[in-house]
Amino acid sequence: MGHFDRLHERFYRSDLERGLFTREQLKELMKFYFIKFYARTDGLKYGKNHVFGGIAPDGSDATNELTYTALEAYEEMQTVDPKFSIRVHSGTPERLLRQVASAIRRGCSSFVLVNDEVAIESLLKRGVPVEEARSYILMGCYEPAILGKEVPCSGSQWINIAKALEWALYDGRDPLSDRQMGPQTGRADEFASWDDFRAAFDTQLEHLLRSAMATQLQFERPWAEMNSSPLMSGTMVETVEDGRDISCAGAKYNNTGVCLASIASTIDSLLAIREQVFARGTISLPALAEALERDWAGEELLRLKIMHGREKFGNNREAPDALAREITDRAAAIINGTPNERGGRFCAAINSINHCIRFGEATGALPDGRHAREPLSKNLCAVTGMDREGVTALIGSVTRIDFTQFPNGSVLDLVLHPSAVQGEAGLDALVGLIRGYFAEGGFGVQFNIFDAGVLREAQREPERYATLQVRVCGWNVHFVNVSELEQEIFIEQAEHVGA
């Protein structure tokens, strides 16, 4: 829905100056407006994005009084929809961050905060002029798009990169479906060294990414003949000037998103192979591959040893973090700039949204100790329970990745216990955490602040907790409306941070 505060501020100010409405009356009108978005979804899924704050095209801070009034109205409503995206930069007023942080810790978690400096730099690298880059909005969940000039198709392909690891282990064969999915890069007994196996993984990853983009090209080719969009075309500057529909590449920017998923699951699994197979010789690679096909049957002690190992993504440790940087650099280089069928380019992202569940259902046991068909790691998060050194260490791992190479957006989910953000000191800590994450180069961040005991009570007595919110991914829902599996995932996360 664009920059809500920038679009409407002059009307808001005019109504106040002319005495047509009081601030409280205008706030009530905003509530009537926002509730229409909630009514469309009944709080069940997705919602519409409203953007606030950020750097204006002239380089100034765009925050204004309407920003605060709108956020105040939304916090008072305590609905899960619409979605609020807060653009943050080094000059963002402390008042704004404290207002957002205060709402989040009260359970109003329908916010994502995005780092302007990193997002804008990622767009500049894509060739977008600085004034246009500063006018970006967030569409979908947290994907940047140039206002009035871009049709990004940001959620076109999600890639479970753990599949590249599976295919490398089984010579291109998918272990669950028993189908040949990737190139034959060698059997498990043919890899003499870690470097040999890593080369096979890199080959499978490139095949996976290029296959996904090739599939997307087939979807895009008939778009102009099948799905003209005259109404949306009227909202784009160049389509109006040139008289071309957006389906015919009428917008200035016509990019396609490719989103990497299962980062932490893949990193932890690769390191388990390097450590247990090639460094220590605890188990041979063929024996490990066979154990994984048995879902770890007969190797429970090894599975537990691996799960309790130290080299896990999310703990600010050199080995996993360096590997994450290498793999994401490589993937971004393959994706970014590859032409699509709409006169644009493919653009990389790191997010899984809730596909981590369905991807997990299609993925066998992994070398990190995960059982077959269990959920995979979500977005930029560590594998649940593996980030043992606290939230600042998790941030240290995540920010080793160069997010200026991911112009299609990325996000970190942070789960905190309510006791960590209590009182003024807690609010200071939460604001400091946001600023610290962005100062280190993080892209987007969203929060869930809850207690595992409360979530258990909500499972038992859903009628008492009908308004309890959880941030699923790029959208909010009521906890009682998600599946039992998703509820258990949230509870497991809450138990981990509360331990």
Q: Verify that 191 and 322 share a domain, yes or no.
A: yes
Chain Cα centroid distance, residue 380: 7
Q: Verify that 47 and 120 share a domain, yes or no.
A: yes
Specify the pLDDT at position 467. 87
Specify the pLDDT at position 403. 98
Task: State the average pLDDT over residues 373-400.
Answer: 97
Question: For a pLDDT cut of 70, what percent of the chain falls above it?
Answer: 99
Q: Verify that 204 and 300 share a domain, yes or no.
A: yes
pLDDT in tens, 46-77: 778 999 999 999 999 999 999 999 999 999 99
Specify the pLDDT at position 80. 87
φ, ψ of residue 454 in degrees (nearest 5): -65, -40
Q: Verify that 109 and 240 share a domain, yes or no.
A: no
Q: Verify that 137 and 281 share a domain, yes or no.
A: no
Domain-terminating residue out of 296, 329, 361: 361
Q: Which helix (H) or strand (E) holds 477?
A: strand 476-478
Specify the pLDDT at position 230. 92
Q: First vs last Cα of the chain: how many Å apart?
A: 40
Task: State the average pLDDT over residues 343-349.
Answer: 97
Give a yes or no: residue 376 inside a domain. no
Q: Verify that 297 and 440 share a domain, yes or no.
A: no
Specify the pLDDT at position 474. 80
- DSSP β-ladder status, 111-115 and 83-88: parallel
Q: Verify that 161 and 97 share a domain, yes or no.
A: no
**Euclidean distance between CA atoms 476 and 82, whole angstroms:** 9
Q: Verify that 284 and 337 share a domain, yes or no.
A: yes
Q: Verify that 311 and 448 share a domain, yes or no.
A: no
Residue 68: which domain range? 4-142+411-498
Nearest one of 248, 56, 189, 195 to 135, comparing CA atoms: 56
pLDDT in tens, 350-370: 999 889 999 999 999 999 999
Question: For a pLDDT cut of 90, what percent of the chain falls above it?
Answer: 89
Specify the pLDDT at position 110. 86
Give a yes or no: residue 57 inside a domain. yes
In this structure, of 1-10, 37-46, 163-172, the range with the lowest mean pLDDT score is 37-46
Q: Verify that 172 and 278 share a domain, yes or no.
A: yes
Q: What residue type is 395 in one-letter code?
A: I
Q: Which residues of 458-473 are buried (b: 16+ CB within 10 A; e: fewer)?
A: beeeeeebeebbbbbb
**Euclidean distance between CA atoms 395 and 105, whole angstroms:** 19
φ, ψ of residue 75 in degrees (nearest 5): -65, -40
Task: State the average pLDDT over residues 11-40.
Answer: 95
**Euclidean distance between CA atoms 312 and 306, whole angstroms:** 10
- Confidence band (pLDDT; 50, 70, 90) for 37? confident
pLDDT in tens, 392-438: 999 999 999 999 999 999 999 999 999 999 999 999 999 999 999 99
pTM value is 0.95
Question: Look-up: residue for tokens 């799905």?
Answer: 227
Give a yes or no: residue 330 inside a domain. yes
Specify the pLDDT at position 463. 93
